[in-house]
Amino acid sequence: MLMPTDAELEELAARVRFDLESAGFAPVPPERHDGEEGGVLVFVDCHQVHVAWRTHDRLDEAAADMKDADRKAEDVAVRQETTRATMHLALGSVLNAFGYHTRPQTMGFGHVVVPDQG
């Protein structure tokens, strides 16, 4: 089995972004992945195409404060975890509906889009 080239992976990532936009998501442009606003991230890393949901920094920071204080049941911490889990489930379902084969990321939330073997 041949490994896809970097160009092929970037092309796959662009198709994934386009299809997610068609489904109503607004993927964060790759040059803004470090921004605070969050949203759908589609990127190539370690020779794989990754899709993940990132919540806004204000929710992440508030939830982290509660978790650091061992108050994981606080509303803000529950909101952040629920949002992440729900959005990752939705993203996986939408990706599969568009015909992509995915697998969970090894660590954390998110999906790896498996390139076609054709």
pLDDT in the model for residue 118: 54
pLDDT in the model for residue 29: 87
What pTM value is reported for the model? 0.84
pLDDT in the model for residue 1: 60
- For 74, other C-beta atoms within 10 Å of its C-beta total 15
List pLDDT tens digits, range 3-15: 899 999 999 999 9
Cα 60 to Cα 12, 33, 85, 101, 102, distances in angstroms: 29, 15, 14, 29, 26
Q: Which residues of the chain have pLDDT under 70?
A: 1, 68, 72, 117-118
List pLDDT tens digits, range 65-82: 777 677 767 788 888 888
Alpha-carbon distance 73 to 67, whole Å? 9
